[in-house]
Structure 1
């Protein structure tokens, strides 16, 4: 995957330094704050290290990732900030999805998560799919629950789950996306500038946006 430009990397280092020295709303060692829930840099580091160790030895995960990204299978020699961004995006989105379900008045029973896991197992293996997404196998249940949550919410919005191209399904997917964005916006998500900025519209953490406010607070808030 392409790396960040030198300019952005320097900005990230400066911003991270501001985070370490500030007494703002996030504590030192915080990767993200999501509705008051803290994801630490140390836990994110361990998550990505676990992922890399498992991913390199899983040919199915490598192939799934290559097919979905258009990149050749395999890893570089060093952990990249892109890997960290991808993992953190998912960890943030898991938390947002739980709030979305509550706002939609939808419960996600364990049975639905079980069925989602079983479906993932039929389509390459839940562990391998989770690795291909950028998280270690231990997060397979979290990924299954995220998928199950989207399924349950879209079903409430009228989706035809047997026809992904149905106008009802397309409309439900749009409603899910809009509710997800509104929910994320209301959760005041803060990302350590080292990792970038959360974009709810893209459901992802993008490149660092370095400006005066982020330098002063040590956070990048959506």
Structure 2
């Protein structure tokens, strides 16, 4: 139920978002992306990046962890947008995840080594998580699992495509363009993440 798959989706994307672009055509300062008419600010994105870097620098493998994630800003922005697409698709389908479900999943995931081990594994993922970001990642996992269970592994592409299209996603050119076919920032590096059965486990081949 909780395994995520690499997705490839064909959908049309409406491109102009007044919140992202000023009248001059330049990107509005302080905006990383606009999703569903709501801004993801560069400060909110930087907060996520800083939290990860702080956690990485506390690790005994600090240099290796930092060096392995040179494009952390783009990876984090990609995941932030994907979560909003997933939330939209889940809401449209009448699917939700409770706080208790997140807590139960986290408890189960932390049985192998406890909370500290869970945090270490989350930090070592391809898209690293600071301790305070783990619950959101679990929520992502559970929402995607429920959506896949409702529609099936192949048919789940349809509600995700519909949600992505409806949200009219635009991204600050500094971070790239939103690729609707991949539901991701378009360079192949940040395609819809091959998900894990547990958030502390890195995907195969990562």
TM-score range (shorter-chain normalised) is: 0.5 to 0.7
Match of 2:172? 192
Per-residue Cα deviation, 1:148-180 (whole angstroms, up to 9, x for no partner): 1012222223xxxxxxxxxxxxxx222223321
**By how many angstroms is 1:104 displaced?**
1.5
Match of 1:27? 28
1:144 equivalenced with 2:124 (yes/no) = no
Instruction: Find the aligned partners of 2:157 and 2:111 in 1 and give their Cα distance.
Output: 27
**By how many angstroms is 1:22 displaced?**
4.7
**By how many angstroms is 1:118 displaced?**
2.2
Match of 1:183? 163
Give TM-score, length-normalised by structure 1. 0.62
> Which has the higher mean CA deviation after the structures are superposed, 193-202 or 126-135?
126-135
Map residues 66-85 of structure 1 onto 2, 5 A cutoff: 73-76=64-67, 80=70, 82-85=71-74
1:118 equivalenced with 2:107 (yes/no) = yes
Instruction: Find the aligned partners of 1:103 and 1:20 in 2 and give their Cα distance.
Output: 28
Aligned residues of 1:87 and 1:135 also touching (Cα < 8 A): no
**Equivalent of 2:148 in 154, 163, 171:** 154
Task: Considering Cα pairs closer than 8 Å and 6+ residues apart, tell me whether 1 or 2 has the greater RCO.
Answer: 2
**By how many angstroms is 1:195 displaced?**
0.3
Match of 2:183? 203
**By how many angstroms is 1:75 displaced?**
2.0
Instruction: Find the aligned partners of 2:90 and 2:50 in 1 and give their Cα distance.
Output: 31
* Bigger fraction of residues in helix: 1
Instruction: Find the aligned partners of 1:95 and 1:56 in 2 and give their Cα distance.
Output: 29
Name the CA shift for 1:98/1:76 in 2 (closer, same or farther; >3 Å): same
Match of 1:174? 154
Q: Which consecutive unaligned segments of at least 5 residues does structure 1 have?
A: 1-18, 63-71, 158-171, 208-222
**By how many angstroms is 1:188 displaced?**
0.5
Name the CA shift for 1:117/1:194 in 2 (closer, same or farther; >3 Å): same
Structure label with greater radius of gyration = 1
Query: RMSD over aligned Cα, in angstroms?
Result: 3.1
> Which has the higher mean CA deviation after the structures are superposed, 146-155 or 122-131?
122-131
- The count of corresponding residues between Structure 1 and Structure 2 is 164
Instruction: Find the aligned partners of 1:41 and 1:189 in 2 and give their Cα distance.
Output: 16
Match of 2:94? 105
**By how many angstroms is 1:196 displaced?**
0.7
Q: Which consecutive unaligned segments of at least 5 residues does structure 2 have?
A: 1-19, 188-206
Instruction: Find the aligned partners of 2:158 and 2:26 in 1 and give their Cα distance.
Output: 28
